[in-house]
Amino acid sequence: MQINVKIKRYNPEADARPYWAEYKLEARGSDRVLDVINHLKWEVDGTLAFRRSCAHGICGSDAMLINGVNRLACKVLVKDLGERITIEPIRGLPVLKDLIVDMEPFFDAYKAVMPFFINDDPPPPAERYQSAEDRAIFDETTKCILCAACTTSCPVFWTNGRYLGPAAIVNAHRFIFDSRDQGAAERLGVLNQANGLWRCRTAYNCTEACPRDIPITRVIEEVKRALLWRGA
Amino acid sequence: MSEDGTNRLMNRAHRFDVIVVGAGGAGLMAARYAAQHPGVSVAVISKLYPTRSHTGAAQGGVGAALGNVSEDHPEWHAFDTIKGGDYLTDQDVAERFAVEVIEAVYELEHMGLPFNRTPEGKIAQRKFGGHTREFGKSAVERACYAADRTGHMILQTLYQQSIKDRVNFFNEFHVLDMIMEDGACHGVVAYELATGEIHTFHAKATIIATGGNGRMFRVTSNAHALTGDLMSIAYRRGLPIEDPEFYQFHPTGLYKLGVLLTEGARGEGAILRNGDGERFMERYAPTIKDLAPRDMVSRAMYLEVREGRGAGPDKDYLHLDLTHIDAHIIETRLPDITEFARIYLGVDPVKELVPIQPTAHYAMGGIPTTIDTQVISDGQNTIVPGLYAAGEVACASIHGANRLGTNSLGDLIVFGRRAGIEAAKFAASESFTDLPAGVQDRTRELVDTVRKGKRTERVSHLRRELQDTMQEHASVFRTEAFLSRQVDILRELQERYKGVGVEDEGHQFNTELLEAIELGFLLDNAEQLVHAALNRTESRGAHSREDHKERDDTEWLKHTLIYKDGDGVRIDYKPVTLGKYEPKPRTY
Ligand SMILES: Cc1cc2nc3c(=O)[nH]c(=O)nc-3n(C[C@H](O)[C@H](O)[C@H](O)COP(=O)(O)OP(=O)(O)OC[C@H]3O[C@@H](n4cnc5c(N)ncnc54)[C@H](O)[C@@H]3O)c2cc1C
Ligand code: SF4
Ligand code: FES
C-alpha cells in the first residue's frame, strides 16, 4: 500500500532548526517502521540518520515518537499505524541529528541509582540460592533494554531534565527487590532525593510506552512503598 | 570519558595499556578481568552503546555441567562439544572450556545474574540440541537459563558490573584499522560517529571481541551491525582467518524474517513438523530427534522442502509446534519468542503452528587464536604479540565444524575472561613503543575513498545482491558449481563496490558512510567463506557439499587458514588438536 511518512529532520551542520520532511512510498502492512525508514535511507535519502541494530526489539536502539507514542521502530508494524506515519525523535533529550538524541543524560540518571549487584559477603563456591518465588518478584524489571521510551514520554521529565525518570527507577527496583542484594538502602536514599521518586505524578505514559511491557507505574508504586516502610 | 588534554588534537590520541574492541559479552568480560590487574589501564571501544550489542539477543541459555537437574559432568560436555563440532574441535580447548564454564557461570550468578531457579533455589537448567548424558545416551539438562533472555541478562549484568568497576568506554567509536608493525599489534584507529573525527588508540595489548558477520546472508538472526569488521581488517592486515567455511544456520528462524526462536523451545518440548504435519526429525535422528545438532536439523529441513513436504502456499517453510506445551510454561519460560511470533507473523504459538526456516546464525570460524586467546598468524602457531581475540569473532577452535547451542555464551565468558587476564599480563610486562609514522593514513584513505566515491553503485543494492547470492550459493548445501559461480559474483561485486559513495557529506552521525564501509568488510567476509568452502572437498558439520557428501578424515581433518593474497586468496592449514576422542561417524 501507499503510505505517507512525515519525519522531523534536523542536520546540525546545515539546518538552523528542525523541519518536517514528507515521503510517499510503497510498503507492506507487515513491514516494521524500521524497514520503512531503512528503505528511505537506502533508496531515497542517504542522509537520514537514526540508530538501529537488532531489528527485533531487543537492543533498545530505536525508540522514536511514532504517531504520537514512544515506541521502537523495529517493533511496530505499518498495519498497526495506517497510511499516515509521523516520526519524531524521543522528547526531552537534546537532538543531535534527525532521530538521534544525546543518550548521555539518560545513562547518567541510570548510573545514579547504582544499577549493579551489591553483596559484600564472600560468595559460596557454587551459586547463591534464591527461591523461584523470590526470583519472580523482580522478574519484570529485569526485562529493561534501556531504550528510554519511558523516561522520554514522561511530562515531569520534559519540564525537569534532572528528574531521574522511570527507567532509573525500574532499574533500581530490579536490585532493591532482589533477595540476594544488599544495596537497597543506598538506592532508596538516592531515590528519596529532590529529583527522585517523589517527582512521579503517575501520568502512566511510561507504562504505555514501554516496549517490554514492564508495568512501570506499579513498579514505581512498589518502590515508593519500600521507601515508606524501610525508610531511607 | 577520555584522559586529560586540552586541545582537541591531543584528545584524538589515546593511550591505554589494554584496549578492548567490542562491548558484547566477550568484550565486557575481557575488560573486567584486564582491569583487575593492578596498575593496568583499560578502555573499551564499541561502535554501539554496550547494551545494544548482539549478546543481548541470545535467548536459550549458557551450557555448563552444573548437574542441578540431573547428573552431568564436564567430560560429557567436552565430548558433546567435540562430537557436535564433527571432530574439527580442538580437544584441549573443549576440555578446558567444559571445566572453566562451570566457574564462569557461578561467577555470573555472583555478579547478580538473575537465572531462573529450580525448586531448591539453584540455577535452573534445560535441554538443548546435542547436549547429552553419558556420551550420547539421551538429552541432558545443561543449559542454564534466564527465561528466553539469557544473553540479555548476561549483557546487562556485565555492563552493570562495568559501571561498578568504572570501566572507560568510547561508545559509538567505529574501529577501522589495527596498528600493526613488525608483526605486532600496537592498538587501533577508530572513527568517532558523533564528530567524524579519527582517533588513534595506542595500546600495549589489544583484544578483539567484535562478534559475528551474519549480515552477509539474506535471512539471518544477526543484527544490522554484525558485519564482520575486524575479520576483514585483520585479513587486510595480512592475518589469516580460520575455518570461515563453517557457518551455522539455525533451524528455527521466523519465516522470511530470520528472527530467532530459541532451541530452548525444543528443549521445552516443541516439535518440528513438515507440511504434512509429520514429525520429520524422527527419520533423521531417531535417538534425540528434534534436539539433534543444528547443522543436521537445518539440512533435514532443506531436504523436506526440496522433496515437496514444505508448508504454506509455496511449500517453502516448516512448522514449529508448541501447541501441546502447557500455556503457562510457554508464557513464563519462552515469553520473548512468543511475542516475536505474535508481533511479526501474527501467529500465536500457544494455539497455532509457527512458520519457520533456517536462519544464518553463527560463525564457527574467525581470527585464529591459541587456547590462551593469543592471535596467531600461521599454521605453526606463531603468536602476534599484543593481539588477542575472544567471542564469536575468534576461533580457538572450540566449536569446530558446528557449534552446539549454548556454547557461544559459554565461550564469551570463558575466553573473554582469559583474554582479559592474558592481555593485562602481557601489557604489564611491556612498555609502550613509538607508533609508526602515519598511523591514521590507511583509515583516512578508507574514509576518503568512500566519501569521494562516484556513487555509480548503491550500497543497499550491492548488499542485497551479496545477501541473496550468498543465501543461494553458499548456505546450507553447497556444490562446486554454485561456489565457483559465487566466486565470480563476489569478484564482480568487489569491482562494483569501487563505485559506491555517499550522499551525506556531513561529519556528524554519518551513518551512511559507515554502512558503506561495513559493506566493504562484509564482502571480504563472504570472500573468505566462499573460497574456503570451495576448497574443502568434503562434508563436515555445517559445511555440506553435495558433490562430496562424506567426511574425509584422511585428507581434511585440519583447519583452514585463509589469507588475502593480492586480489586473490591463499589457503594454508593447521592441524586439529586431537585427544581422547577418536573421530567417529556422527549419529544421534
Ligand atoms: C538471536 C540470537 C540468539 C542466540 N542465542 C544464543 C544462546 O541461547 N546461547 C548461546 O550460547 N549463544 C547464542 N547466540 C550466539 C551468541 O549470542 C553470540 O555468538 C554472542 O553473543 C556473540 O558475542 P560477542 O561478545 O562475541 O559479540 P557481540 O555481542 O555481537 O558484540 C560485538 C561488539 O563489537 C562491537 N563492534 C563490532 N564491530 C566493531 C567495530 N568495527 N568497531 C568497534 N566496535 C565494534 C559492537 O559494538 C559490539 O559491542 C545467539 C545469537 C543470536 C543472534
Ligand atoms: S523500562 Fe521499558 S521503556 Fe523504560 S527504558 Fe526500560 S525497556 Fe525502555
Ligand atoms: S533495532 Fe534493536 S530494539 Fe529496535
Task: Give the residues surrounding ligand 2 with Cβ less than 6 Å away.
Answer: A 144-150, 166-167, 170, 209-212, 214, 216
Find the mean pLDDT for residues B430-447: 95
B121-176 residue pLDDT tens:
999 999 999 999 999 999 999 999 999 999 999 999 999 999 999 999 999 999 99
Look at residue A51 and give its three-state secondary structure.
Answer: coil
- Res B540: pLDDT: 97
B257-313 residue pLDDT tens:
999 999 989 999 999 999 999 999 999 999 989 999 899 999 999 999 999 999 999
Residue A54 in contact with ligand 3 by CB distance below 6 A: yes
Any residues with CB less than 8 A from the CB of A82 and at least 6 apart, and which?
none
Q: Specify burial of residue B438 (Cβ count, 10 A radius: 0-12, 13-18, 19+).
A: exposed
Q: Which of B12, B96, B237, B294 is catalytic?
A: B294
- String of DSSP letters for A180-215: T---HHHHHHHHTSTTSGGG-----HHHHH-TT---
B68-89 residue pLDDT tens:
999 999 999 999 999 999 999 9
Whether the Cβ atoms of residue B81 and residue B581 lie closer than 8 Å to each other: no
Confidence of residue B2 (pLDDT cuts 50, 70, 90): very low
> Do β-strands A63-66 and A69-72 pair in parallel, antiparallel, or remain unpaired?
antiparallel
Cell matching residue B414: 570463558
B294 catalytic? Reply is yes
Residue B195 Cα, gap to closest chain A Cα (Å): 11
A40 contact B CB<8A = no
Residue environment code for B271-288, b if the CB has 16+ CB neighbours within 10 A, otherwise e: bbbbbeeeebbeebbeeb
For residues B516 and B506, give the distance between their C-alpha atoms in angstroms, rounded to a whole number.
14
Whether the Cβ atoms of residue A70 and residue A90 lie closer than 8 Å to each other: yes
Share of chain B above pLDDT 70, in %: 98
B458 contact A CB<8A = yes
For residues B35 and B17, give the distance between their C-alpha atoms in angstroms, rounded to a whole number.
10
Cell matching residue A38: 531503512
Could you say which ligand is closest to the alpha carbon of residue A72? 3
Confidence of residue B93 (pLDDT cuts 50, 70, 90): very high
For residues A81 and A75, give the distance between their C-alpha atoms in angstroms, rounded to a whole number.
12
B547-563 residue pLDDT tens:
999 999 999 999 999 99
B48 contact A CB<8A = yes
For residues B290 and B293, give the distance between their C-alpha atoms in angstroms, rounded to a whole number.
9
For the cut 70, the answer to whether the pLDDT of residue B6 exceeds it is no
Among A32, A33, A41, A53, most B C-beta atoms within 10 A, so best to mutate, is: A53
**Cell 541494530, residue located:** A53
Cell matching residue B232: 576483514
- Res A199: pLDDT: 95
**CA–centroid distance for B320 within its chain:** 24
For the cut 80, the answer to whether the pLDDT of residue B10 exceeds it is no
For B255-334, strand residue ranges (E) read: 271-273, 318-321
A198 contact B CB<8A = no
Could you say which ligand is closest to the alpha carbon of residue A59? 3
Q: In chain A, which residue's Cα lies nearest the Cα of B507?
A: A13
Q: Are A181 and B502 within 8 A, CB to CB?
A: no
Intra-chain end-to-end CA distance of chain A, in Å = 56
For residues B251 and A51, give the distance between their C-alpha atoms in angstroms, rounded to a whole number.
29
pTM, full prediction:
0.97
Confidence of residue B471 (pLDDT cuts 50, 70, 90): very high
Which residue type sits at B309? R
DSSP B220: B
Whether the Cβ atoms of residue B387 and residue B42 lie closer than 8 Å to each other: no
The radius of gyration of chain A's CA atoms, rounded to the nearest angstrom, is 20
For the cut 50, the answer to whether the pLDDT of residue B465 exceeds it is yes
Share of chain B above pLDDT 90, in %: 95
Residue A61 in contact with ligand 3 by CB distance below 6 A: yes
Task: Give the count of beta carbons closer than 10 Å to the beta carbon of residue B326.
Answer: 13
> Do β-strands B13-21 and B42-46 pair in parallel, antiparallel, or remain unpaired?
parallel
Look at residue A71 and give its three-state secondary structure.
Answer: strand
Any residues with CB less than 8 A from the CB of B314 and at least 6 apart, and which?
none
Q: Is the dihedral of CA A100, A106, A108, A111 positive or negative?
A: negative
For the cut 50, the answer to whether the pLDDT of residue B3 exceeds it is no
For residues A204 and A5, give the distance between their C-alpha atoms in angstroms, rounded to a whole number.
28
**Cell 511510561, residue located:** A206
| ipTM for the assembly | 0.97
**CA–centroid distance for B253 within its chain:** 16
- Res B8: pLDDT: 46
Q: Are B460 and A13 within 8 A, CB to CB?
A: no
- Res B535: pLDDT: 98
Whether the Cβ atoms of residue B266 and residue B290 lie closer than 8 Å to each other: yes
In the stretch 93-132 of chain A, residues with CB closer than 8 A to chain B read: 96-98, 100, 103, 107, 111, 114-117, 119, 123, 125-132
Residue A72 in contact with ligand 3 by CB distance below 6 A: yes
**Within B367-458, where are the H helices?**
407-429, 441-451
For residues A37 and B383, give the distance between their C-alpha atoms in angstroms, rounded to a whole number.
45
Find the mean pLDDT for residues B358-362: 97
Nearest to B171 by CA among A106, A201, A98, A89: A106
For residues B306 and A193, give the distance between their C-alpha atoms in angstroms, rounded to a whole number.
65
Residue among A204, A210, A220 to mutate when testing ligand 2 (max atoms within 8 A of CB): A210
For the cut 90, the answer to whether the pLDDT of residue B328 exceeds it is yes
Find the mean pLDDT for residues B28-48: 97
Q: How far is CA B246 from CA A13, B243, B391, in A?
A: 45, 6, 16
DSSP bridge partners of B44? B20, B169
Residue A230 Cα, gap to closest chain B Cα (Å): 22
* Least CB–CB distance from B112: residue in A46, A96, A181: A181
Residue among B150, B262, B392, B518 to mutate when testing ligand 1 (max atoms within 8 A of CB): B392
Find the mean pLDDT for residues B526-534: 98
Provide the residue-wise pLDDT of chain A in tens; the chain has 232 residues: 999 999 999 999 999 999 999 999 999 999 999 999 999 999 999 999 999 999 999 999 999 999 999 999 999 999 999 999 999 999 999 999 999 999 999 999 999 999 999 999 999 999 999 999 999 999 999 999 999 999 999 999 999 999 999 999 999 999 999 999 999 999 999 999 999 999 999 999 999 999 999 999 999 999 999 999 876 5
Find the mean pLDDT for residues B558-585: 96
- Res B587: pLDDT: 84
DSSP bridge partners of A19? A9
**CA–centroid distance for B379 within its chain:** 22
For residues B185 and B173, give the distance between their C-alpha atoms in angstroms, rounded to a whole number.
19
DSSP A75: G
Inter-chain contacts counted by CB atoms under 8 A, chains A and B: 152
Look at residue B320 and give its three-state secondary structure.
Answer: strand
- String of DSSP letters for B548-575: B-S--HHHH-EEEEEEEETTEEEEEEEE
For residues B215 and B224, give the distance between their C-alpha atoms in angstroms, rounded to a whole number.
7
Which residue type sits at B175? V
Look at residue A88 and give its three-state secondary structure.
Answer: strand
